[in-house]
Amino acid sequence: MNGNNSKKKRRKLIIWGSVVAVIVLLIAVGVIVAKSGGTKIDPTKLAKVEKGDLAKSVVATGKVTPITKVEVKSKASGIVKKLYVDYGDRVKQGQLLAQLDKVEIQAQVDQSRAALEAAQLNLSYCHIVAPVGGVATHKSVEPGQIVQPGQGLLVVVPLNDIWVTANFKETQLKNMRAGQRAEVNVDTYGKTFPGHVDSISGATGAVLSLLPPENATGNYVKVVQRIPVKIVLDPISPSVAILRPGMNVDATVITK
């Protein structure tokens, strides 16, 4: 009986001694770790997880997303004439993908080009220049007015290129010919200037008038008609005289 009790006491002493030893060992390890500032883990020396090792994992659903996607858009309106790609085809940068019908677009280009040319032509018309040299008269426009194409602005009279229209009687034209010498006396200066017959009109002034006379009563009175004759003057120096349109003159043609 006493032997059994002594064995039980011995076992308890061994167990309590082992527990105390483990506690002391843990305390010693904790003191060492506290003094060293904690154990640093080298990421290059991590142990590889093998099958059977304890590991945690999570699972989630997702989808593959491209880094970027570019939508190809048409920059013009028109009919698609041909398509060079389909679903699943691989394309390269700069590759031709589709082609529009050029007929309608070319018509628009031609129309725009014509409009551009017309606009450029109108732009050149902004500078109105004198078609001939002379004296400006009959001005009918002022700054700020709006004008339309074909509207008259003023009249330029070339004083260095003038002639005389003399209305001779039809009975005076018997011996008159083009090229004959003539003399013109200008009332303004009281001088006579030489010239020559350039041409004789093909009809009387009455026939060429806006409302030619017509004898509707049947009573016809014969009136001597006058026919215009163009007389071109010899060059006249501006220091001598300046002849202006509308001046009264007396013309004489030397027929012999």
What pLDDT was estimated at residue 65?
A: 78
Q: How far apart are the C-alpha atoms of 53 and 66, rounded to whole Å? A: 36
Residue 202: inside a domain, yes or no? yes
Residue 113: inside a domain, yes or no? no
What pLDDT was estimated at residue 184?
A: 94
User: CB count, 10 Å around CB of 186?
Assistant: 19
Q: Which residues contact 251 (CB under 8 A, 6 or more apart)?
A: 164, 166, 168, 182, 183, 184, 185, 229, 231
Residue 118: inside a domain, yes or no? no
Residue 178: inside a domain, yes or no? yes
Token pair recorded at residue 149: 């194409």
What pLDDT was estimated at residue 46?
A: 54
Residue 179: inside a domain, yes or no? yes
Enclosing domain of residue 167:
159-209+224-237+246-253
What pLDDT was estimated at residue 105?
A: 86
The total of structural domains in the chain comes to 1
Determine which helix (DSSP H) or strand (DSSP E) holds 226, and give its type and residue range: strand 226-233
Sign for the CA dihedral angle at 41, 43, 49, 54 comes to positive
What pLDDT was estimated at residue 43?
A: 55
* 175 touches 255 (CB < 8 A): yes
Residue 63: inside a domain, yes or no? no
- β-sheet with 163-169: strand ranges across: 163-169, 226-233, 191-200, 181-186, 249-253
Q: How far apart are the C-alpha atoms of 199 and 202, rounded to whole Å? A: 9
Residue 50: inside a domain, yes or no? no
What pLDDT was estimated at residue 217?
A: 64
CATH number (domain holding residue 166):
2.40.30.170
Q: pLDDT in tens for each of the 256 residues of the chain?
A: 555 666 677 777 777 777 777 787 777 767 676 666 555 555 555 556 555 555 567 788 887 777 778 888 888 888 888 999 998 889 999 999 999 888 888 888 899 999 999 999 989 989 999 988 888 988 899 999 999 988 999 999 888 888 999 999 999 998 999 999 999 999 999 999 999 999 999 888 888 777 777 766 666 677 888 999 999 999 888 888 888 888 999 999 998 8
Token pair recorded at residue 174: 């018997």
What pLDDT was estimated at residue 250?
A: 93
Residue 52: inside a domain, yes or no? no
What pLDDT was estimated at residue 146?
A: 92
* 214 touches 201 (CB < 8 A): no
